[in-house]
Structure 1
C-alpha cells in the first residue's frame, strides 16, 4: 500500500474518531440540559401557587398568544426537518432556504415571548413580585435563551455554508447536532405549554 493511500486512510480514521467524539460530547451536553430543565420544572412545581397576594396565572395568561408561539416553534422544527432532508441530498441552496424559514419562525416565537414578558411586567407580575412569577420567568426565560443560542448557531452554520459551498460529512454532522438541539427545545416547550400554562389555568 502506497504512502499516499496510508495517509488517506489515516485521515479518514482520524475524521471518524473526531466525529464520534463530537457526537458523544453533544449528547452529553443535551443530558446536562435535561437536568437543568428538570430542576427548573421541579422548582416551578413547588412554587406553582405562591402568588403572595399578587396577580395570578389565571388573571394574566393569554393562551391564544401562547398557542401561536407553540405553532411557530413546532413548525420551525418541521422546516428544520426539510433542511436535513435536502442536506442529505447535497442541495445546499434548498438547505439555506429552509434554514432561513426556520430562523424567521424562531424569531417570531421570541418576539411573542418578549411581548408576553413585557405585558406581564406592565401588569405587575415581574419576577420580583412572587415566587410563582420568579420561577415562571426563570423557566420560560431559560428556554427562550436556548432558542436565541440556537438561532445564533443557525446563522453561523448558514454563513459557513455560503462561504464554503458543499455538503460534506462535517457539515452534515453540524446540522444534525443543531437539529437535535432544536427538536429538544420543541420537547421542552411542549412541557412548558402543558405544565406551566395549561396546568396553571386549571
Structure 2
C-alpha cells in the first residue's frame, strides 16, 4: 500500500471502535434537534388544522338552534373576559419561564411556571363552571346542533389546556431532577410554543364565538 493511500485512510484509536471514530456525536445531536423541531412544528400545524375544522363546523351550525337559545342568550361576556385575561397573562409568565430557563435561573423559571399554572388552572376552572351552568340550564350539547358545535370547539381547547398544565408540571419536575440540560431546554421551548399557540387560538375563539355570538 502506498504512503499516499495510507495517509488518507481513517486512523483507528485502539481504545474505541472505528465506527465511533468516524461518527461525529455533535452532528448526530444537531440532526436530532432538527428532527425534533420539524416534528413538533408538524404537530402544531396539524393541531391548528383540526381547530380550523371545528371553527368551520361551528360557523355552519351557528343558526341551527332548533328553536333553542342562541349565543346572546347564553354567553356571559364578563366571565369570558376574565378567562381571556387569565390565559393571556399566563402566556406572559410562560415567556418569563423560558427566559429563566435560557439563563439558568431556577428561581425565575419555577416562579413563572407556577404563575402560569395558577392562571391556566383558573381559566380551566371558569370554563368548567360555564359548561356546568349551561348544562344545568338545559343548554347542553344535546339541545341543538349549535350547542353541540360550541361544546366541541370550546371543550377541545379546554382539553388542550389541561394537557398543557400536565406538561408544565412535567417540565418543572424534569428541571428539578435534571437541571437545564440541552434536551430539557428543547422540551421547555416546545412547551412554550404549544402554550402560546393555545393563547392565539383562544383569541380567535373569543372573537369569533363570544363577541360575534353576543352581537347576533
TM-score normalized by structure 2? Answer: 0.88
Secondary structure of the residue aligned to 1:151 is helix
Greater alpha carbon shift after TM alignment, 53-62 vs 104-113:
53-62
Q: Indicate the RMSD between aligned Cα atoms, in angstroms.
A: 1.8
From the CA coordinates, give the structure whose radius of gyration is larger: 2
Q: Which has the higher contact order (CA 8 A, sep 6+)?
A: 1
2:27 to 10, 13, 17: 13
Instruction: Tell me how far apart the structure 2 counterparts of residues 137 and 162 of structure 1 sit (CA, whole Å).
Output: 37
Structure 2 counterpart of 1:115: 129
Instruction: Tell me how far apart the structure 2 counterparts of residues 2 and 183 of structure 1 sit (CA, whole Å).
Output: 49
2:47 to 33, 36, 39: 33
Instruction: Tell me how far apart the structure 1 counterparts of residues 149 and 12 of structure 2 sit (CA, whole Å).
Output: 64
Structure 1 counterpart of 2:213: 200
Secondary structure of the residue aligned to 2:24 is helix
Kindly indicate whether the alpha-carbon contact (under 8 Å) linking 1:55 and 1:124 is maintained by their aligned counterparts in 2.
no
Correspondence list, 1:1-202, <5 A: 10-164=24-178, 166-202=179-215
Instruction: Tell me how far apart the structure 1 counterparts of residues 204 and 138 of structure 2 sit (CA, whole Å).
Output: 26
Deviation at 1:11, TM superposition (A): 2.1
TM-score normalized by structure 1? Answer: 0.94
Instruction: Tell me how far apart the structure 1 counterparts of residues 12 and 137 of structure 2 sit (CA, whole Å).
Output: 74
Instruction: Tell me how far apart the structure 2 counterparts of residues 57 and 123 of structure 1 sit (CA, whole Å).
Output: 14
Give the length in aligned residue pairs. 201
* Shift in CA distance, 47/182, structure 1 to aligned 2, threshold 3 Å: same
Deviation at 1:201, TM superposition (A): 1.3
Greater alpha carbon shift after TM alignment, 88-97 vs 140-149:
88-97
Instruction: Tell me how far apart the structure 2 counterparts of residues 87 and 160 of structure 1 sit (CA, whole Å).
Output: 12
Secondary structure of the residue aligned to 1:129 is coil
Deviations 1:106-135 (A, max 9, x none): 000000000000001111110000011000
Unaligned segments of structure 2, at least 5 residues: 1-10
